Structure 1
């Protein structure tokens, strides 16, 4: 059976699909290919479950020097490759119209997508109803049920080499013999953002509590960039205010660098978003701040975590005391579990 899995959206969405990828690829006589975009493809590097990766370039993700005509030409080539591959099944990881169009263009005999009976376009042969209270990973995994696959989803799977991790440690002079905490400050949604002065106080309190290194993560770039607004200015404010701590500002230039750097951390704090799922994907304990997104649906998957919901669905209303106490409580819990496991 030849399956095309379509996931041409955000980085976090693709990471959350990795348990489904493992589920599908683990079946006998099954070949699994993916259609993803040029922006999220790097999270698949090293994944042993995947055959061919078809690439879709969004116009605003084109590289310097790449023309719109070149983007559209590559898109036509991808359509041709998918059509010629002869897929038996196309699985769509979202209910958006464009991924469904790609599924239809594939010519697959069956198209599986989320959507209750009577919903969605007629091209969908198997519609999977949403279940209230399900995590997104469970919802995605249910897309395998029309194929007679009913096993529960495993953990998120990101594959980072020891060489990648060692390079980041060397490049930024990270001492791996003491606790390393990751603090990720960026979020696209205003109600998911914590104030810079609160991050500064948290970093100072963690540094006072123990001899630790703290890696500062953020979305690189200027805040007035219309396509990819960044937090360089906010990060610099934190660096300037925390010169008395072992703070390591780490401006990652790629997803692979972020994955490798987060692999160095013993625990990470971040608001809900792509970085949260990268942290969970490299199996790190996470303190997750939630504002106006569904914490039950988007929670860190199968890693030790503390989920902190902002009052009135606003992360900015969380106090430093609340976050600090939850951070320390999770750290103690993780260390206690390690002691038990090591007998």
Structure 2
């Protein structure tokens, strides 16, 4: 009996796993507990297929091995040709096939044809996915749950298929000391007072809080206590067809907060954003990638939810307050509600630290 158990352990520890997560930034961050669980339990590094947009999330993650990058045509860099993107994609296919994976995991809430194609291209003996009516190529299909569980807990079921029984840990992001030092030097922030991050962008219209409400909240908090604000937003103009941003909204807020200690944080890269958020003592943001960046860096966060489910997408394993709009439109959330929850969270964090 002991020999059989040892043999099974050896088989697991030698397993080569490809985890496929080609989705948005927040989706990949929410997958990091699964990556850590697999790596720690199997005593190996996990190879991951991601896209060029979310790839920086995995930099310096000790549980990640080879990162295969899928280039989407609409994410190509200025001056990069479509032919170059396609050539890189072919190279990625070759590298994945050559790696010889035993298991491919489609790390999504529901299997999809495109990640399944990549799983099949890997030649993996086992393909694990969640969903119904799965094709024969998916050897291990996890039935959808009817319970209201967080997405991190849902993704943890992939580990259970491999007989790993472990509760998922926290989200994991790794900012280097040099990145942190660069952020400190470029922002020149004061010390000894709270640094509050205000993140004003949201991809979905129903998740957007109005600029005037951010302005009012900042003035109220500024009157309440001696603090400093860091203003975050998605860079770019609102009329940019490929990557619409909130430059105009940010400037509107900056112009009306000149009487406050507020520093606009212009971030050109995802790594710069992570480093700047890591300086904050507390964040306010709508549901989205920035929310999970804050949680991945262990920051207390007040999260605004409109037409997305807080029980599924909420902050994971960090002190937080969730404000869900009854109308499912974040724009209907009042400044009074946000101020109250923001100050309550701050008091709770201070009390816990004492």
TM-score, length-normalised on structure 1? 0.96
Is the alpha carbon distance of 1:16 and 1:130 closer, same or farther for their aligned partners in structure 2, counting shifts above 3 Å? Answer: same
Q: Report matched runs for 1:152-301 at 5 Å.
A: 152-301=167-316
Structure 1: which 5+ runs fail to align?
none
Query: Are 2:154 and 1:143 equivalent residues in the alignment?
Result: no
Q: 1:180 to 1:333 in 2, by over 3 A?
A: same
Query: How far apart are residue 29 of structure 1 and its match?
Result: 5.3
SS in 2 for 1:113: strand
1:127-160, CA deviations, whole angstroms, 9 ceiling, x for partnerless residues? 1122220100011111111111110100000001
Per-residue deviation, 1:121: 2.1
Matched residue count: 337
Unaligned 5+ runs, structure 2: 1-14
Residue 166 (structure 1) shift: 2.1
Aligned to 1:9: 23
Equivalent position of 1:42 in the other structure: 56
Verify the 8 A CA contact 1:25 1:49 in the aligned structure 2: yes
Matched, 1:124 2:130: no
- Determine the C-alpha separation between the residues in 1 that align with 2:44 and 2:58: 19
**Cα pair 1:198 1:320 within 8 Å, conserved:** yes
Q: CA deviation at 1:31?
A: 4.4
TM-score w.r.t. structure 2 length?
0.94
Q: Distance in 1 between matches of 2:219 and 2:62?
A: 41
Distance 2:196 2:285 in 1: 11
Shift of residue 111, structure 1, vs aligned partner: 0.3
Cα distance in structure 2, aligned partners of 1:207 and 1:121: 57
Following TM superposition, the consecutive aligned residue runs of length 4 or more in structure 1 with deviations greater than 3 angstroms are 28-31
Aligned mates of 1:12, 1:178 — CA distance in 2: 29
Contact 1:277 1:300 in 2 (8 A): yes
1:164 positional shift: 1.2
CA RMSD of aligned residues (A): 1.0
